[in-house]
Amino acid sequence: MINTLDIEINKASESRLSQVDFDNLPFGKVFADHMLVAKYEDGAWSRASIQPYGDISLSPASSMIHYGQSIFEGLKAFKNENNDVLIFRPEENWKRMNASAIRMCMPEIPKDIFLEGLRQLIDLDRNWVPNNSESALYIRPFLFATDALLGVRPSDTYMFMIITAPVGPYYMKPLHLKIETEYTRAAMGGVGSAKAAGNYGAAMYPAMMAQKEGIDQLIWTDAKEHKYLEEAGTMNMMVVINDTLITPPLKSTILPGITRKSFLELTKEAGFKVEERSITADEVISAVGTGELKELFGVGTAATTAQVEKLTFEGKSYDLPSSEHRVISNQIGQKLLRIKKGIDPDTHEWNMTV
Ligand SMILES: *Cc1c(COP(=O)(O)O)cnc(C)c1O
């Protein structure tokens, strides 16, 4: 990529890298040396800068704090065998961030600030991308309103930032999920398809209630009838009934996952049947009963694929087939991970190499 963006780089005087125990990384608590910052004022973006990672100062009246104009993205970088850093489909995150921005009355981020800013930040902190092939550098771009004004209206000023955090291997035991039929994550016409900060705060209470009963996470259903499956906390849901992969179609209540999109593409290419259609909780439960339900799993950046082995619906719990022998989730999940890590050829040109 040609460097067309002039970024002011203010390097940290000393790296904190040697203080980090890469074998014991708590998720999202350890941050790399630098962060990217760009400000939006008077209808224009300022020159982006890379600065030492650190606290920022804000007015206590910042409208993001009071009215929640705040959106984010999440992606991962891996190191391949040649020590190149590979970032998975960052352009898709840029597009989705701008879709979220439009929905929240926020300014769109110019492509070069997002992508070239990301490239330069990752290049500078490339030693923070773990060498261990099981680990990754988690990347968190975010945009928030900074007007110091208590009036309820879109802010005139914003800050775009990218911070990064090395994260350990994502070993996950199969999950116990509950199909939620009381609380709602997103309603038609709402902001469910935007990665808007408030969606996550609003989902914490129902998730916590379920966790008290030993459930890991919720599968949300539609707000109107609580009949149709939507998605889980930060994952899109996939079901295999007989030999067909089924996932709910995208709409205003579902976050358009980049893992979902990539997973569907690879599944079709591998010759499996794929249906993007509405699916009810009743259909899933009855397929569990007849043995036709073969797989249930979530897909997202964090886990790639998260297997579900137990399902609770209307007070009853159901054991699902063991995740070990599941065909589609294991085969495609592995394939996707191998592309991200540069082990398998990147025939779709999904990776940005730094
Ligand atoms: C981020 C997110 C996903 C997954 O998106 P990916 O791009 O695959 O990481 C799914 N659902 C929700 C609600 C999310 O916030």
Span 70-86, pLDDT tens digits: 999 999 999 999 999 99
91-123 pLDDT, tens digit each = 999 999 999 999 999 999 999 999 999 999 999
Cβ of 255 below 6 Å from ligand 1: yes
Give CATH 3.20.10.10 domain extents, the chain: 175-340
DSSP string, 125-178: TGGGS-SSTT-EEEEEEEEEE--B--SSS--S-EEEEEEEEEE-----PPEEEE
User: Which of 218, 301, 336, 337 is the best mutation target for the ligand 1 pocket, counting ligand atoms within 8 Å of the beta carbon and taking the most?
Assistant: 301
**pLDDT at residue 2 is higher than 70:** no
- State the average pLDDT over residues 215-243: 97
Separation CA 249–CA 231 (nearest Å): 11
CATH 2.30.42.10 fits 175-340, yes or no: no
pLDDT-based confidence at 168, cuts 50/70/90? confident
Q: What residue's CA is closest to ligand 1, atom 6?
A: 257
Question: What does DSSP assign to residue 225?
Answer: T
> By 3-state DSSP, what share of the chain in percent is helix, strand and coil, each rounded to 5?
25, 30, 45
185-208 pLDDT, tens digit each = 999 999 999 999 999 999 999 999
| Ligand 1, atom nearest to 258 Cα | 7
Ligand 1 centre and the CA of 235: distance in Å? 5
Q: What is the pLDDT of residue 112?
A: 96
Ligand 1 centre and the CA of 236: distance in Å? 7
Q: What is the pLDDT of residue 1?
A: 46
Percent of residues, the chain, with pLDDT higher than 70: 99
Quick one: fold of 8-169? Answer: D-amino Acid Aminotransferase; Chain A, domain 1 (3.30.470)
Q: What is the pLDDT of residue 302?
A: 87
Cβ contact 276:284 at 8 Å: no
**pLDDT at residue 237 is higher than 50:** yes
Give CATH 3.30.470.10 domain extents, the chain: 8-169
Look over the chain and give the mean of its residue pLDDT values, rounded to a whole number.
96
| Ligand 1, atom nearest to 259 Cα | 8
pLDDT-based confidence at 4, cuts 50/70/90? low
Cβ of 90 below 6 Å from ligand 1: no
